Amino acid sequence: MAGISLPGGGADKTALGLEVMQSRAFIEHFIDQHELLVPLMAATGWNVQTGELLIDADAYDAANETWVREPDPPRQSKPSAQEAYEEFRKVLAVSKDKETGFVNLSVEHFSPIVAQQWVTWMVQDLNNVMREQEVSEAERAITYLKGQVANTSLTDLQAMFFELIQSQTETIMLAKVREEYLFKTIDPAIVPEEKYGPKRALICVLGTLLGGMLAVLLVLIRHYAFKPEESV
């Protein structure tokens, strides 16, 4: 993504947008709005042929749509908004290139289809949230400025207020016209053809090396620890 330059401090708004995207309030609302609790907290894999998620029956009863897990207190059977937020932050990765200012957003999930959909939704929702905030603030500013115009008879002050009203009107127009308000998608999220992890080849190599080292260590320990005493 690329932050779009906006009137009134575009760089600051881009930084603000990144913080909003990773905030507890935004993520909790995002999970609730798109009903992500089950795929986030109960998924254990996915069926490559059908694209369906595999759900842990010990955590969630899909037939009755009921949470049946038994976590340690104070956790409840149904994951709380706080627990869901903590889990989502584990699979969300946001990075910004200091030189170009471009932002990279990615999500890890058992299903590549789900991961792609979540990334797309996050960009859309973030732009909508920032747009609504900008429009709301601009409308309040216009209402205030119109009141100031009506309460003053000084021509210079009225001219200044009208200029500010024009600026806020431009902000509203830009927000309503531009679909990708704050962040513009440079490279849309895709459904990856190859899995990101776990890297089984690397795990096998490391497991073999570790097993070999432990075997050598065990032989050495047995050799020196249980070495029979030499007769004189």
Mean pLDDT of 120-143: 93
Q: Please name the residues in contact with 153: beta carbons below 8 A apart, sequence gap of 6 or more.
A: none
What was the pLDDT predicted at 116? 93
pLDDT: is 187 or 216 the higher one?
187
Nearest C-alpha neighbor of 87 from the set 107, 103, 104, 72:
107
Is residue 65 scored above 60 in pLDDT? Answer: yes
What was the pLDDT predicted at 202? 52
Mean pLDDT of 121-149: 93
Q: How far apart are the first and last CA of the chain?
A: 80
Cα separations in angstroms, 4 against 1, 12, 27, 129, 187: 9, 11, 22, 15, 15
Euclidean distance between CA atoms 204 and 208, whole angstroms: 6
